[in-house]
Structure 1
C-alpha cells in the first residue's frame, strides 16, 4: 500500500469508500441518513487535509482527513479491514499531523475499541451528532501516544 494525498478527481472514489465503510460499520444509521450524509461529504472533504492508502492497482483502500489537530474521518473499504490499514492511517495522522483528538459514534464499538487500543480515551459525550441527530458522539483524546 502506498500512502499519498488524493486530489479532487479522487473524490468520487473517496465517497464510494466512505459509503461502503459506513454501511459495513454503522448499521445503526438508517439508509436515509447515510444518503443525507453522502450528499454533504464532498464539501466536507474540501475542509480537511486528506491522505489515503492506494493499492498496487492505484485503488483507494482507505483514507483519513485531519483538521487542526483533530482526526475528522478515517474510513477503510470493507475488503481491506483487519489488515492494519486503519492503524497505518492513524499513526500517520498522529506522527505527521500531530492529531490528539477525535469524535467517534458511541454506537460503533469496534471503532471505539480501535481508538482506545491506540492510546485514546473518552473525555466527553454528546447526545447528538454534528447535524443534531440522535446518534451520540464520544470525544476522545490521545492520552498514551503509541
Structure 2
C-alpha cells in the first residue's frame, strides 16, 4: 500500500536516487553533460528546497512529486515501480491539494507525455527549449475540471 507524505531532511539521497534512475530510464535524449549539470542542480538546489511529496511503500520511497502551488514541477517514479498506479495516486493527491493542475513535460519523454494525456491533461502550448534554454522542447499541459463519466 502506498502512503504519501511530505519529504524531510533525511529523504534527499533516496529522492536523488529515484530521480537519477528514472531519468536514466526515460530521458535518453539528454546529453551526458546536460545530465551531469541537471543532476547537480536537482541534488543541490531543487530537492533540498522544494515542496516534495513522497510515495512510500513498506517504508521505502518509490516516487516523488514536487509542486509550486498548482503546478507540478516534477514527478518521478522508480523505474521498477512503473505501471503500478503510483503516478496516478500522486496526481490524485495533487488534485486534492490544488484542483486544476499544470505541468511542463519534456516533449522527447514520450512515456511521460502519454501518461499525462492518459490522466486527462491537455496540451496548452509548447516551448522550443527547457527552462534553462537547452534544446529540449517542453509541452505545457493542464488538467482542468473533469466532466462526470458514465463508466
Give the alignment's TM-score, normalised by structure 2.
0.90
Q: Considering only aligned residues, what root-mean-square deviation do their CA atoms show, in Å?
A: 1.5
SS in 1 for 2:84: coil
2:77–2:86 CA contact under 8 A, matched in 1: yes
Higher Cα Rg, which structure: 2
Match of residue 123 from structure 1: 124
The CA deviation at 1:37 is 0.6
Unaligned residue ranges in structure 1 (runs of 5+): none
Q: How many residues align?
A: 145
Match of residue 15 from structure 1: 16
SS in 1 for 2:83: coil
1:34-84 Cα deviation digits (max 9, x unpaired): 11111001311244321111121x221000010021000000011111100
What is the distance in 2 between the residues matched to 1:32 and 1:76?
23
Question: Deviating runs (4+, > 2 A) in structure 1?
Answer: 45-48, 143-146
What is the distance in 1 between the residues matched to 2:28 and 2:113?
15
What is the distance in 2 between the residues matched to 1:7 and 1:23?
25
SS in 2 for 1:13: helix
Match of residue 105 from structure 1: 106
What is the distance in 1 between the residues matched to 2:60 and 2:85?
17
Give the alignment's TM-score, normalised by structure 1.
0.92
Unaligned residue ranges in structure 2 (runs of 5+): none
